[in-house]
Chains A and B, each alone.
Chain A
């Protein structure tokens, strides 16, 4: 009989390894398959505008789903099923958007359905952790859950503007989120969160600059929705928001400037312009929407790699703020 700590370590190693290895070893085959099928898009930020296959979502989902199903057999907890179902529904919503051009309202509205498994399987609590204490808001919290999943999904979707950024942000932000789940949540949710981290690390290998594959809407929506589902099931909603602040800021900047839910492709005036030496510069147009990238290049043009590094630095900074918040919350709630 294994001791509880050894047992958790064994389960964590199994789910982490399976998710990582599935994505890492199947992705090269899937890249070749997508190229053969002609499922490619141009990378406009490169000089030769290479054709990059898209979407990586199906293999990402496969890695996560296999690990979660195995985890469910090891630790039969309904929260694992709820997180998996939310992720699968978000993937389907994203995959529809990958295959067909859908209107701007489609993703946020359809993602509300992805929140349903959390409600139906009661994978949520009734108290919201608010750093200095928790608040009992049983009815308001249900509405909050229906909002969190679409917001989280679209937040990751809208930061997927440069090579490696969406996956890099998820990797960085997952660390404080998982630490928070370990402290304020439970073992099952923590274990269910590991496949998201490790499959994203494997995907980053192919998504980092220069990208060999793009995650697509199916990849980014499933990651965002899973992040949101983990934050809800792990009683770490506020910590999850703080860890993801650069991406949240990007969504907020965009929405507050265009003042409606609209696809990036439908924006007439682009927030950034491409210079002759393939750097990104801020648009001077007053009609152009505000985005995180536009703020970063406001002082002068930067290359794609330089911008990605600045976004990662911001993500590390917000993750440190999330860790400080965990310490404050631990003092007020756990102590």
Chain B
């Protein structure tokens, strides 16, 4: 049974990668900021996109860390 739990973890990791990819392509990539109406806008847009992408990856890592912690506590009866 323990292997099914780990299969579940791998599957959830895969789903998260799919969802993050979807979000990056559908929401983050089309973002366009128009403030100065010159090339500066391109840099601002890129910076915001990079912050979004990094934020999502950090959230993903934090969520996986929580899942791992719960799984181990449950299986090893840790305090």
Contact = CB atoms under 8 A, between A and B. Distances in A.
- Chain B interface secondary structure, helix, strand, loop or mixed? helix
Interface stretch (A11-19, A126-134, A183-191, A212-220): A126-134
Contacts of B79: 286
Nearest to A302: B2
B21 A321 contact: no
B52 to A, nearest CB: 12
B78 interface: yes
26 contacts: A130-B21, A130-B24, A132-B21, A132-B22, A132-B25, A133-B29, A135-B25, A135-B29, A140-B53, A241-B17, A242-B17, A248-B13, A249-B9, A253-B68, A256-B61, A256-B68, A286-B78, A290-B68, A290-B72, A295-B5, A295-B6, A295-B75, A296-B2, A299-B75, A314-B7, A328-B18
- In order of increasing CB-CB distance, the 3 nearest A-B pairs are A298-B75, A299-B2, A131-B21
B3 interface: yes
Given A140-B46, A284-B76, A298-B2, 9 more contacts: A130-B21, A139-B46, A140-B50, A242-B14, A249-B10, A282-B75, A292-B6, A295-B2, A318-B10
A313 B46 CA distance: 40
Given A131-B18, A252-B64, A314 B6 contact: yes
Contacts of A317: 7, 10
Contacts of B3: 296, 310, 313-314
Interface residues of B, number: 33
A286 B78 CA distance: 7
Interface in B36-79: 46, 49-50, 53, 61, 64-65, 68, 71-72, 75-76, 78-79
Contacts of A284: 76, 78
Nearest to A300: B2
Overall SS of chain A's interface: helix
Interface of B: 1-3, 5-7, 9-11, 13-14, 17-18, 21-22, 24-26, 29, 46, 49-50, 53, 61, 64-65, 68, 71-72, 75-76, 78-79
Interface of A: 130-133, 135, 137, 139-140, 238, 241-242, 245-246, 248-249, 252-253, 256, 282, 284, 286, 290, 292, 294-296, 298-300, 310, 313-314, 317-318, 321, 325, 328
Nearest to A322: B14
A298 B64 CA distance: 18
A290 B72 CA distance: 8
A73 B25 CA distance: 39
